[in-house]
């Protein structure tokens, strides 16, 4: 065992489990690629102010959970706690919004970092796949992203998730609701930190998970009762488009997201098999974020889905993904000459697109065949001195046990045909 261990609240992804995580990422990304979203990758750390302004200085993410540090050059940086602010910063810096083809549609995948109390489904290092549509105010975009996330989850075989939907209003109607909510909160028995949060951003109090707080919020005013006509019409069109696509959702008038930048449409994907940490992903519209970080007005919408949480949801439903074996053919040489010849054959197989591995380390037949079994290979290719003298190798079907000789110069074509 190593002297060192992974830091508290983090994890290592190792085979074979890592294959499931890769499959989940691919399943989430596939419908995005088919819908005009291009891949973007941003640095793992950014200027602290990007998140302070965008995510919100009153949020737990910024005040308690962000990994912030000062460089040797005096720069104040933070490990990214979420993806949207970084993606929008990159799009603005590259002037993607000036290309004249709005919205700019981007997707990303990566690791994010928050100093949280570690528990199942909530880690200090976690993985997400996200999507952002930047520069257009259109209910169809909001609906598109919700539908694509639903499609991704269903392609994985998930069925027991729910989509919660709400509207947070906009700069016209939210101030009226904000004032009404603050008046309500001032009359509650709340601790000093929560009261301070209520003065800065009262919607954040609605997201407080403590039971003692939630009990007092039962009669809190609802934002939907304060929406302006424009926000009501916008939200109704989002609902109609999702319904027409056959995607089920639930209206949740108390749903708010943990980031300050959200406006209008907000949604969350939750799964009952995850316990208290039921959210597997979520997102919404953030029409004012670009201006918050110094850019022009660029109405946008996006989401992030947790890869870790999605894997836990699959486990809760007992869903096993059909993941192809990493190796299709395992070559077992018996003797030095066979080692040289079969290594060349394995190289040819790989160039032909066949997943092939080789018995390294000079193992005997018994040990090498054990490794072939462990690899999950469909076929074993075995050759000794007698086989080489006849210009052949033995091709063994690892499922049926059938073994037949194959000419060395026909190995690639034979295996490609059988694996097809």
Residue 83 annotated in ligand binding: yes
Cβ contacts of residue 192 below 8 Å, gap of 6+? none
Residue 262 annotated in ligand binding: yes
Q: What span, in angstroms and rounded, lies between the C-alpha atoms of 262 and 283? A: 8
CA geometry: angle at 111 spanning 62 and 278, to 5°?
75
Residue 416 annotated in ligand binding: no
Residue 277 annotated in ligand binding: no
Phi, psi (rounded to 5 degrees) for 20:
-65, -40
**Tokens of residue 218, six digits:** 């039962």
Q: DSSP labels for 221-237? A: PPGGGG--HHHHHHHHH
Burial 142-171 (b: 16+ CB within 10 A, else e): bbbbbbbbbbbbeebebeebebbbbbbbbe
Residue 187 annotated in ligand binding: no
Residue 25 annotated in ligand binding: no
Residue 114 annotated in ligand binding: yes
Q: What span, in angstroms and rounded, lies between the C-alpha atoms of 68 and 62? A: 9
Contact predicate 115/8, CB 8 Å:
no
**Tokens of residue 38, six digits:** 């291009």
Contact predicate 348/412, CB 8 Å:
yes
Residue 84 annotated in ligand binding: yes
| Spatial CA neighbour of 237 closest among 134, 148, 137, 130 | 137
Q: What span, in angstroms and rounded, lies between the C-alpha atoms of 80 and 57? A: 15
Contact predicate 152/37, CB 8 Å:
no
Binding-site residue ranges: 82-84, 114, 128, 132, 257, 261-262
Binding residues for L-histidine: 82-84, 114, 128, 132, 257, 261-262
């Amino acid at each position: 065992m190593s002297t060192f261990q992974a830091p508290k609240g983090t994890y290592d992804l190792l085979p074979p489990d890592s294959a499931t995580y890769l499959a989940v990422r691919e399943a989430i990304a596939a419908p995005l690629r088919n819908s005009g979203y291009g891949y973007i990758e941003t640095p793992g750390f950014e200027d602290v102010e990007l998140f302070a302004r965008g995510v919100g200085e009153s949020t737990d993410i910024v005040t308690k959970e962000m990994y912030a540090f000062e460089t040797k050059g005096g720069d104040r940086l933070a490990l990214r706690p979420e993806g949207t602010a970084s993606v929008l910063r990159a799009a603005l810096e590259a002037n993607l919004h000036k290309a004249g083809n709005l919205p700019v549609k981007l997707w990303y995948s990566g690791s994010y970092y928050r100093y949280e109390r570690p528990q199942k489904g909530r880690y200090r290092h976690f993985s997400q796949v996200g999507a952002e549509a930047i520069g257009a105010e259109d209910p169809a975009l909001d609906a598109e992203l919700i539908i694509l996330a639903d499609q991704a989850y269903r392609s994985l075989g998930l069925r027991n998730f729910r989509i919660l939907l709400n509207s947070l209003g906009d700069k016209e109607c939210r101030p009226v609701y904000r004032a009404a909510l603050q008046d309500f909160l001032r009359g509650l028995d709340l601790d000093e930190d929560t009261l301070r949060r209520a003065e800065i951003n009262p919607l954040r109090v609605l997201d407080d998970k403590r039971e003692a707080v939630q009990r007092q919020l039962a009669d809190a005013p609802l934002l939907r009762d304060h929406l302006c006509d424009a926000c009501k019409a916008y939200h109704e069109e989002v609902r109609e488009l999702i319904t027409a696509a056959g995607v089920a959702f639930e209206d949740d008038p108390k749903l708010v997201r943990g980031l300050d930048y959200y406006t209008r449409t907000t949604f969350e994907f939750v799964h009952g098999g995850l316990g208290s940490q039921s959210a597997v992903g979520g997102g919404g519209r953030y029409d004012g974020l670009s201006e918050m970080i110094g850019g022009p007005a660029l109405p946008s919408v996006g989401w992030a889905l947790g890869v870790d949480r999605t894997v836990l949801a699959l486990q809760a439903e007992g869903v096993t993904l059909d993941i192809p074996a990493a190796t299709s053919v395992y070559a077992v040489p018996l003797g030095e000459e066979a080692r040289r010849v079969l290594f060349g054959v394995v190289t040819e197989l790989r160039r032909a697109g066949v997943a092939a591995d080789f018995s390294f380390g000079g193992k005997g037949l018994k040990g090498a065949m054990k490794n072939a079994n462990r690899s999950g290979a469909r076929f074993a290719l075995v050759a000794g001195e007698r086989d080489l003298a006849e210009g052949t190798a033995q091709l063994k079907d690892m499922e049926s046990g059938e073994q037949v000789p194959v000419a060395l110069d026909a190995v690639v074509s034979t295996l490609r045909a059988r694996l097809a």
